[in-house]
A and B are shown apart, each in its own frame.
Chain A
Amino acid sequence: MGVTCVSQMPVAEGKSVQQTVELLTRKLEMLGAEKQGTFCVDCETYHTAASTLGNQGQAGKLMYVMHNSEYPLSCFALFENGPCLIADTNFDVLMVKLKGFFQSAKASKIETRGTRYQYCDFLVKVGTVTMGPSARGISVEVEYGPCVVASDCWNLLLEFLQSFLGSHTPGAPAVFGNRHDAVYGPADTMAQYMELFNKIRKQQQVPVAGIR
C-alpha cells in the first residue's frame, strides 16, 4: 500500500465524460503505462435511525460503507470526520441485521469504475463516477507504491500528476495535512474517495452534451 492521491478531473469543455476519460487514457498509454484490468470503488450511505437519537435536535450521523476492488476481501465503513473501520466482507451482511439502527439513504449508491494502469512504480486508475444510470464525473487515483509516508513523496506525486493531468492537478489532499509523517493506509484512500463522492453529489448534474 503506497501513498495515494485521489482527485477529480473536470470534464473538458464541449466534451462528454466518456470522451474525457478516453483522452486521459490515451495520454497515459502514450506515456508508456500498461493496462492491467479494471477497478471499481463504490459507496453506500446509511444514516442513524431516528429512534436511536437521544435528543430530537441532534442530526443523524451519516455512515458510508465502501468497497474497493484493490482490496477485494475488505469492506470499509467510515463516518464523516470520524473513525474508519476496515472489516471482512461479512460486514455487509451485518449491516442488514443492523437495519434498526442504520437505515440506507435512498438512491445514494455512488460508484466509480474504470481501467487500471501500471507505470513502473505508479498505479493510475481513471474511472467514471456514476450515480444510478447517469455519469457524474471523472475520478483519477494515483498511487506511488514504494513509499508509505505522505510527506516524503508528495512532491514526486505532484510532478507525475502534472505530467498527464496538466493544469487540473489537485492540491495536497486533506488527509495528508492531518498526519504528514504517519504511515499512509487504505483507510486514508477511502476517506479521500468519500470526500470526492460527496463533492460530486453536491455538484449539479453534468450537462449532457454531444452524446448523441
Chain B
Amino acid sequence: MSGVRAVRISIESACEKQVQEVGLDGTETYLQPLSMSQNLARLAQRIDFSQGSGSEEEEAAGAEGDAQDWAGAGSSADQDDEEGLVKFQPSLWPWDSVRNNLRSALTEMCVLYDVLSIVRDKKFMTLDPVSQDALPPKQNPQTLQLISKKKSLAGAAQILLKGAERLTKSVTENQENKLQRDFNSELLRLRQHWKLRKVGDKILGDLSYRSAGSLFPHHGTFEVIKNTDIDLDKKIPEDYCPLDVQIPSDLEGSAYIKVSIQKQAPDIGDLGTVNLFKRPLPKSKPGSPHWQTKLEAAQNVLLCKEIFAQLSREAVQIKSQIPHIVVKNQIISQPFPSLQLLISLCHSSNDKKSQKCATEKQSPEDHLYVLEHNLHLLIREFHKQTLSSITMPHPASAPFGHKRMRLSGPQAFDKNEINSLQSSEGLLEKIIKQAKHIFLRSRAAATIDSLASRIEDPQIQAHWSNINDVYESSVKVLITSQGYEQICKSIQLQLNIGVEQIRVVHRDGRVITLSHQEQELQDFLLSQFAMALKVAARSWFSFPGTSVKTFRRVMFYRIANGIIFVVRSEKFSGIRWKVETLSIKWSCLCLRSALACYDPCFQHEVSRNGLEKMNHKHKEEKFSKGVFRCLPSILKPFTL
C-alpha cells in the first residue's frame, strides 16, 4: 500500500482488426471492420430466395425486419456503397438482389391475388379438379390385402397357440399333482374336526380329552400320513383317501364298559377272563370318511380306559365293608350280600377274529346300558369340573377351588357346610349306588307283579311315576276289590324306593321302612291284602243282624245262614263262607252277589245304600254266572 508505486495497467480491447497489409517498416495496416450497415448488406446478399418455404419465409421475414430497422443505416450505407460501387464493378448495390427478389415476389403475389379474385366471382374463371392419372395395376392391393391378412392372422394364431400351450401344460400338471392337491383338501377337512400340529416334517394330532378337562396321562397323539401307494395308471378306487391316520397301537379296535349285575357268584377260575363279547360297531355316518370313524373309535377306547382306570383306582383306595376286587379288566363289588356287580372293560382289537367270542355265558341282556351311559356322563362331569368357570379365571391371591370354598373362611362355615360343598363321592361309589337302586327297583316291581298275578282278589294296582332320580323312584300301590274301588279306598301305599331301603307311606300316616330283603316287601304287601279284605268286608257288613268278631288274623261275621270268615293264612287269603257243613271260598264279588240274592237282611241293606246298581253290573261276569248256576242247588237246603 504505502511505499509501493502504483502500477500502470493498460487495457486493450481484445478485438483485433484484420491485418490488411504489413508495411515494410513493420507497421500494420488494419482493415476497417465492417460497419453495421455493411454487415447487414453482406448478410442480405447471402439470402437465397429460392430456397424452401419455411426457411425462406423466416429468412425473408428476418431480412425484412432487418431491412426496416436499419433502413436509416442502409440509406447511409447506400451512400458509402455507392462510393464503393465504383470499385466493385461486377456486383451492383448489395441490396439489389434483395430488391429484385422482393419485386418478383410482389409481382407474383399480385398475379395470384388477381386470379383468386376473378375465380371468386366465378364469372370468368372456375376451378376444376385435375383429372387423376390411372391407378397402378389391380393385383397389387389384393395381394397386399392377402399378405396383410395373413400376417395379422398369423399374429393372432401365435397368441392363441401360446395360450393353449399354457393351458395344456397346466392340465397335465394338474393330472399329475391331482393326488397332491387332494391331500391338502382332505387335510383341511381333517383339521375341521381334530386338532393338528406340525412337528418337524410330521403332522401330529391329538385325540385325547385333555383339552376338555381330563387328567388321564395317555398322550393320545395320532399321526397323519400321506397315502402314496397308488398307481396312477390303474383306476382309482371309490373310497380312496389320500391321507391316512396312524393311531397308537393300544387304542386300536373298539371298546366299551360292560356293567352287569349277577345273582350267583362266578367261580374263582372265571375271574379275570377277558370278555370279548363283541358289540357290533356303531354304524358311522354315511358321509364320514374312514379316518373319522377310526379316530372316533380310538377316542372311545381312550375314554373307556380312563373310566376303568378311575374306577379301579377308587376301588383299591376306598375302604368299604366288603372290599372290591379288581382283577385284570374287571371290577367286582357286592352292593348287596347276594348280589354281584361286575364292571369290565371289553376291548376288542380288530386283529382277532370275532368267532372266538362265540362261547359267551352271559347273555347280552345282562348288560345294563343305563349304567354304562351314566358312567360316561359321570366322567364327563368330572372333566367339566376341572375346567369349570368356577375355577377359571384363577384369583390372584386366594386359593384355587370352588368359589364357595373360598368364601368359607370369611363367612365362617362350619364343618357340615364345608362337607356339603365338597363332593366326596367317587365314580365307583356313585355307580354302585345307582346299581343298587336299579336292582332294588326292578325287584320291587317283580314282587308286585308276581303278587298281582298270583292273587286274584283283591287286586293290586301299581302306578309308577315317570320322573325319577338316579337314586330314588316312587310307586303308588292301590289294593282294591274289583267293583268296589270307590268304597274301599283306604289301602293306598306310596313306596319310595331308595338306594338301600324302601320307605312305605301309608294313607293313614304310618311310615314304615323296609330293608332291601325281597321277603319283607312281599310279606308287607300280603298283610295289606288282608287288611284290604277286612276293610271291605267291614264296610258292607255294617248292617244290623250281623255280629262281628275280629281277631288278629280273622274276622267273623255271623249272619243268618252261617258264618263268614275273612281270613288270611299261608294257604289262603280271602273270604270263606262256612255254611254249616259246606265251606265255599268266595271272592268278594260273588259273596256280595250271593248275599244280595239270598240274605234278606243284606238285601234290605243293599237297597238302603243304593248299591244295587253296582251289583247288577257285575252279574254279567262269567265267573259269577257259573257260581250262580250252582248256587241254588247248593244253598237250597240251607235257606231260611
Q: Which residues of A contact B (CB under 8 A)?
A: 1, 70-76, 86-90, 185-187
Contact = CB atoms under 8 A, between A and B. Distances in A.
B410 A70 contact: no
B398 A73 contact: no
B411 A86 contact: yes
A74 B409 contact: yes
B418 A87 contact: no
* Residue among B398, B415, B418 having the largest count of chain A Cβ atoms under 10 Å: B415
Nearest to B397: A90
B410 A185 contact: no
A73 B409 CA distance: 5
B413 A88 contact: no
B414 A70 contact: yes
Interface of B: 398-399, 405-406, 408-415, 418
A75 B412 CA distance: 8
21 contacts: A1-B412, A70-B414, A70-B415, A71-B413, A71-B414, A73-B408, A73-B409, A73-B413, A73-B418, A74-B412, A76-B412, A86-B410, A86-B411, A87-B409, A87-B410, A88-B398, A88-B399, A88-B406, A88-B410, A89-B409, A90-B399
Across the A-B interface, give the 8 residue pairs with the lowest CB-CB distance, nearest first.
A88-B409, A186-B412, A71-B412, A73-B409, A74-B412, A74-B409, A73-B408, A86-B412
B412 A185 contact: yes
Nearest to A68: B412
B592 to A, nearest CB: 53
B410 A72 contact: no
Nearest to A186: B412
Contacts, number: 39
Nearest to B398: A88
Contacts of B414: 1, 70-71
A71 B412 CA distance: 6
A87 B406 CA distance: 10
SS class, residues of chain B in contact with chain A: loop
A74 B408 CA distance: 7
A43 B530 CA distance: 67
A88 B418 CA distance: 14
Contacts of A186: 412
Nearest to A185: B412
A88 B405 CA distance: 10
Contacts of A1: 412, 414
Contact of A72 (B398, B399, B411, B415): B415
Nearest to A70: B414
A88 to B, nearest CB: 3
B48 to A, nearest CB: 116
Contacts of A71: 412-414
Contacts of A90: 399, 409
A203 B366 CA distance: 75
* Residue among B408, B409, B411, B413 having the largest count of chain A Cβ atoms under 10 Å: B409
Nearest to A123: B414
* Residue among A1, A76, A185 having the largest count of chain B Cβ atoms under 10 Å: A1
Contacts of A185: 412
A185 B406 CA distance: 19
B402 to A, nearest CB: 12
* Residue among A70, A88, A89 having the largest count of chain B Cβ atoms under 10 Å: A88
A186 B398 CA distance: 22
B123 to A, nearest CB: 129
Contacts of B415: 70, 72
B399 to A, nearest CB: 8
Contacts of A86: 409-412
A70 B399 CA distance: 20
